[in-house]
Amino acid sequence: MAEMGESQFNQMIDDFLIHLEEQIDGFDTDGDIDYETSGGVLTIIFEVNNSQVIMNRQTPVRQLWLAARSGGFHFDLDEASGQWLRDTDGAEFYSVLNQCCTEQAGETIEFCA
């Protein structure tokens, strides 16, 4: 299988981040959750404690990175399943994102594919 090109990777990440933004817009939460997006970086801001979860693309290595209070995580696309999997243990992106956001929001946050 041919390696994904840079423009294809960037478009895929842009579409992915838009999908996450649409979910944030639909959240019904006790606390305010806002987001900012710029140049392949999505920052989720939790007003309850002004903490952030940041996702960004790393084009040279074709990874999706997530930074939260609990740490920084790198995800590779598993082309067979179409899922982003953490490079250290294979954890699925949405489960890690949900855990980080729930911890920082102080209430259950659930993103879905």
Q: For residue range 70-88, list pLDDT tens digits in order.
A: 999 999 999 899 999 999 9
Q: Which residue has the tokens 């992106």?
A: 93
Both structure tokens of 14: 């842009």
Residue 105 pLDDT greater than 90, yes or no? yes
Q: Which residue has the tokens 């478009």?
A: 11
**Domains of the chain, first to last:** 6-105 (3.30.920.10)
Q: Give mean pLDDT, residues 51-62.
A: 96
Residue 1 pLDDT greater than 50, yes or no? no
Task: Answer for the pair 102, 108: CB distance below 8 angstroms, yes or no.
Answer: yes
**pLDDT, tens digit, 9 for 90 and up, residues 16-51:** 999 999 999 998 877 789 999 998 999 999 999 999
Longest dimension (CA), the chain: 46
Q: Which residue has the tokens 């729930």?
A: 102
Residue 2 pLDDT greater than 80, yes or no? no
User: What residue ranges in 1-113 does DSSP mark as E strands?
Assistant: 33-38, 41-46, 51-58, 63-68, 71-78, 83-86
d(CA 46, CA 48): 6
